[in-house]
Amino acid sequence: MMAARVMGLEILKTETGESTAAQVERDLREAIIRLELAPGTRLSEQEIATRMGVSRQPVREALIALGKSKLVDIRPNRGTVVVRISARQMMEARFVREAIEVAVARRASEGFDNWTRRRVDTILSRQRAAMEAHDHNAFRREDEQFHIAIAEGAGCGLAWNAVADIKAHMDRVCNLQLRHPDSMKNLISEHEAIIVAIDSKDSDASAAAMRRHLNGILSDLPQIEADNPELFE
């Protein structure tokens, strides 16, 4: 099972000076979020190392990091397993994101970098293209880029770092949410409402638009869980 699921995994070389362990962690995290490594999958250090063309040490470090993020469960003498989706952890992650990103939206309405504002329009265009192509993974990547751009445009880039590690618990649910025919269209509308409020320099409207956007997943969660019981705790 493991071989089938990780067959396409490989280290994506970067120019950022990122360590091998960090690259392995990033690629495994993405595979978990995309449900290519489904909840319950057993992970073998040696098999991952072979498939990715690296030694076992960076794989071990990557799995430890993913364990700290509660995406995998490392069981001594029993192996490592991708954890099932926890609705509780997802809601905790959403709570933290709301606290940070609503504050960021308020700050963005007080002053937003012009170059980043143009980048937001490009991101929204790419999201529309992903929606037309029914490309859920591309859409989710652009969703993340939108939120990063809002933080950077507001001069709060570090705020995103506080969100990045915990958001994976929301991302797996979002990945399931995007399979609904109307979800991408609705999310784009919510993004547009956020940027319109920021452009109008209305801090209350910006905060409210961001809060509505991040709360939307709560209304969809019961149905998502009911449709995919094998993926949840």
- Domain enclosing residue 221, as ranges: 87-231
Same domain, residue pair 118 and 162: yes
pTM of the model: 0.87
The whole-number pLDDT of residue 17 equals 60
What number is the average pLDDT over the span 122-130? 97
Average of per-residue pLDDT values in the chain: 90
Is the pLDDT at 6 greater than 80? The verdict is no
CA distance 90 to 71: 11
CA distances from 205 to 33, 175, 189, 208 (A): 31, 27, 15, 5
CATH number at residue 183: 1.20.120.530
Same domain, residue pair 111 and 209: yes
CA distance 211 to 152: 18
CA distance 96 to 83: 21
Number of domains the chain is built from: 2
Residue that finishes a domain, picked among 82, 103, 132: 82
Helices (H) and strands (E) in the chain, counts: 11, 3
Is the pLDDT at 138 greater than 90? The verdict is yes
Residue that finishes a domain, picked among 41, 62, 82: 82
Same domain, residue pair 9 and 114: no
Residue 140: exposed, middle, or buried by beta-carbon count in 10 A (0-12, 13-18, 19+)?
Answer: buried
CATH number at residue 74: 1.10.10.10
Tell me: the pLDDT tens digits for 195-219? 999 999 999 999 999 999 999 998 8
Same domain, residue pair 158 and 203: yes
Is the pLDDT at 181 greater than 80? The verdict is no
What is the rounded end-to-end Cα distance, in angstroms, of the chain?
Answer: 20
Same domain, residue pair 51 and 95: no
Strands (E), 65-192: 72-75, 79-82
Is the pLDDT at 61 greater than 80? The verdict is yes
Residue that finishes a domain, picked among 26, 47, 82: 82
Residues of the chain above pLDDT 90, percent: 81
Same domain, residue pair 70 and 179: no
Same domain, residue pair 93 and 195: yes
Same domain, residue pair 78 and 94: no
